[in-house]
Chain A
Amino acid sequence: DAGVIQSPRHEVTEMGQEVTLRCKPISGHNSLFWYRQTMMRGLELLIYFNNNVPIDDSGMPEDRFSAKMPNASFSTLKIQPSEPRDSAVYFCASSWGAGELFFGEGSRLTVL
């Protein structure tokens, strides 16, 4: 298996622009997680899905953030409008239930 695939790997954008991050989980996994990592706050869970259904979005910072999982093989995290404080590495991860979490390589976002 190719593992969790994220795109883009790097994104540089200007404040106010829309950003869309994409994730393909490992085939057969039924849970998908979006994390954000910064030096100050570490690895924070933004939202997770189970069987394509959002279960807990309490970590989503504000209404500017939204996430979707239209099918078992694809998820997006959208930020609109983006702000400089959104600059971070965004990780997608997947698992089978409460098993081992496999991370993608991350999307490094810089908002100028």
Chain B
Amino acid sequence: QKEVEQNSGPLSVPEGAIASLNCTYSDRGSQSFFWYRQYSGKSPELIMSIYSNGDKEDGRFTAQLNKASQYVSLLIRDSQPSDSATYLCAANFGNEKLTFGTGTRLTIIP
């Protein structure tokens, strides 16, 4: 079964520090990877997508993909209290559907 795994946390990071979220996936053939943010009681929203090895930066967010190690990560620089949420990693295993990890709960401590 194709899976996406994340450390459920909780992960606590001081305000202004770098938050590092990690994810591994089981299918070496996966092509597309996504990070979604979900605030408590809300629906997931896409914050980053990454398709090729290396880093992709968007503002304070950087996604990193290593296909050889089947590993994808999300770095959040200058963490803000508004970044406190659950972060869901997702992978596309070759069709339209996304498989999600169980999420990592991140708390930014003021």
Interface residues of A (CB under 8 A from B): 31, 33, 35, 41-45, 48, 50, 55-56, 91, 95, 97-98, 100-101, 103-106
Interface residues of B (CB under 8 A from A): 32, 34, 42-46, 49, 88, 90, 92, 95-103
Contact A101 B103 (CB under 8 A): no
- Residues of B contacting A41 in the complex (Cβ-Cβ under 8 angstroms): 102
| Complex CA–CA separation, A45 to B91 (angstroms) | 12
Q: How many Å from the CB of A7 to the closest CB on chain B? A: 14
B interface, over-half SS: strand
- Residues of A contacting B45 in the complex (Cβ-Cβ under 8 angstroms): 103
Known interface pairs A45-B97, A55-B95. Does A101 touch B102 (Cβ–Cβ under 8 Å)?
Answer: no
Q: How many Å from the CB of A65 to the closest CB on chain B? A: 17
19 sampled A-B residue pairs with Cβ under 8 A: A33-B98, A35-B100, A41-B102, A42-B103, A43-B88, A45-B97, A45-B99, A48-B96, A55-B95, A56-B95, A56-B97, A91-B44, A98-B92, A100-B46, A101-B46, A101-B90, A103-B43, A103-B44, A106-B43
What are the 6 tightest A-B residue pairs by CB atom distance, in nearest-first order?
A: A42-B102, A103-B43, A43-B100, A31-B96, A98-B96, A100-B46
Known interface pairs A98-B32, A98-B92, A100-B49. Does A45 touch B98 (Cβ–Cβ under 8 Å)?
Answer: yes
